[in-house]
Structure 1
């Protein structure tokens, strides 16, 4: 498994423009929420308590798996992501009980991707997942890291991944120029 620093620097290498990052703070949570809503709509319950809101279904199983991955990458960021995912899991569960939940999920998913694509127009770089599908899981991890950095936390991690990301971006730009001539 690649380290947190490697994963974050790869993602950040195509997310250096502040406008792009701001659009991702809207787009990524919308996409995540819509995916959890869709997962709640899969009629499989692995385990349920008396309260149907407390169950192990496809959505909660996915959340557990993803959070284990995030905690293995970085415990501090994993805690932040758990605090983000729990309300997402619960609110998407509530909406899944409504009529037309699938259409709500599709609409929110498309809206989230519109924000993503607008951001990459500012960045003038393709999304990170184009070259590595694992980067789809790193988007939320990256945004949590960015939030920590904005709050003055994890300063050394910020310095390290930013330097690595700039070097990777420089290499990408060089490769792009060489292949276009």
Structure 2
């Protein structure tokens, strides 16, 4: 498994533009919320409880984040719990899937607008695992804004810039 530093520096290499990062603070939560809503419609009976695919995904993904970086994962737990709660409320409305698809599409439009500012393709186009790193990256960025995890920020930023220079050199060579 790649380290948190490696994952975050790869993601940050195509997320250096502040405008792009701002769009991600809107688009990524929309995509996550809508994906959890879609997965919330897939329900399973387990003993006396209803369990959704969203709940199972939350446990698995949060476990992955905890293996990467416990402090960032704790922030993601605080983000995911309200997402699970609110999507559970919407699952029981008359058209949850239409709501989910609408928000999902809007979230992705916002993401791609951000990448126009960045002048770089989204990280997941080269590595699908980067789809899981988006929320992890945003939590790291939030921590950095709050003055937390300064050592992590100092470690990933130069690596990200080096990776970006390599990407741009490769693109110019083509």
Counterpart of 1:71 in structure 2 is 66
Alpha-carbon shift at residue 146 of structure 1 (Å): 0.1
* Structure 2, unpaired ranges of 5+: none
Matched pairs, number:
174
Matched, 1:163 2:158: yes
Alpha-carbon shift at residue 144 of structure 1 (Å): 0.1
- 1:47 & 1:34 partners in 2: Cα distance? 27
Match of 1:57 among 20, 37, 52: 52
Alpha-carbon shift at residue 56 of structure 1 (Å): 3.1
* Structure 1, unpaired ranges of 5+: 50-54
- 2:16 & 2:48 partners in 1: Cα distance? 43
Matched, 1:135 2:122: no
Alignment of 1:83-98 (within 5 A): 83-98=78-93
Alpha-carbon shift at residue 81 of structure 1 (Å): 0.2
Instruction: State the Cα RMSD in Å.
Output: 0.9
Deviations 1:17-38 (A, max 9, x none): 0000000000000000000000
Superposed structure 1 runs of 4+ greater than 6 Å apart? none
Counterpart of 1:178 in structure 2 is 173
- 1:56 & 1:71 partners in 2: Cα distance? 22
Counterpart of 1:20 in structure 2 is 20
- 1:34 & 1:150 partners in 2: Cα distance? 26
- 1:80 & 1:93 partners in 2: Cα distance? 21
Taking structure 2 as the reference length, the TM-score comes to 0.98
Taking structure 1 as the reference length, the TM-score comes to 0.94
